Structure 1
């Protein structure tokens, strides 16, 4: 399991984050307003949110990003968000991010679970538990 510890690391190239950490059904959150909007949307649609707090310079974050994107495509009933801790430093501090990647699991805007580190089997286990516990959705 790999983790990177938060630091004030900033190599000036933050544009990498968009390409590597968003894709599939993953939405890159680049502002507090965008975060609030996505959480409101998830609440309205009764979706559980998985938020990946990561950094473009973090090797384990880069390693798990394609897998996170793959999971987002397999589980459209969940909302997958990605937050760059360097881009939203104050916001990440409010979430008490000590290491990256950190995954938060939210229901109705409230955290109910957390995973620190790029642990693919544990991430899959947590997501499968959520999907298995969801009531079946009826097509509209």
Structure 2
């Protein structure tokens, strides 16, 4: 699990061609909702070494977040081979994250 938000976002074209399962997390380090979600993410992503986790700092005018229509943080996009399979906005429990993970790992 990545613990720091990347301030340089990858282009959408790079995300769309990622092979395998990926969790794309949008948020900000100062966001209280994002901070509250971190222990849930850590628990859900534990023991998932093959899972790619991209943590991207989002904000007004950031093209990657806008291309995924992100409006609230944190938003978790669950991708398989670059295609969105599930989405969670402000996850409240670890089980919701695990269910979404199952959809891209199965």
Answer yes or no: same fold by TM over 0.5: yes
Segment drifting more, 65-74 vs 52-61: 65-74
Distance 1:68 1:35, change over 3 A: farther
Counterpart of 1:32 in 2: which secondary structure? coil
Gaps of 5+ in 1: 1-20, 134-140
Equivalent pairs counted in the alignment come to 105
Alignment TM-score, normalising by the size of structure 2: 0.75
Segment drifting more, 48-57 vs 72-81: 72-81
**The one of 22, 25, 31 aligned to 2:2:** 22
In structure 2, the residue matched to 1:6 is none
Structure ID, larger Rg: 1
CA distance in 2, matches of 1:126, 1:51: 12
Alignment TM-score, normalising by the size of structure 1: 0.60
**The one of 121, 126, 138 aligned to 2:100:** 126
After superposition, residues 1-140 of structure 1 pair within 5 angstroms as 22-23=2-3, 28=6, 30-33=8-11, 36=14, 40=17, 42-43=18-19, 47-86=20-59, 89-120=62-93, 121-131=95-105, 133=106
CA distance in 2, matches of 1:88, 1:28: 16
CA distance in 2, matches of 1:35, 1:69: 27
CA distance in 1, matches of 2:46, 2:8: 21
* RMSD value, Cα: 3.0
* Structure with greater proportional helix content: 1
Report deviation, 1:66: 3.4
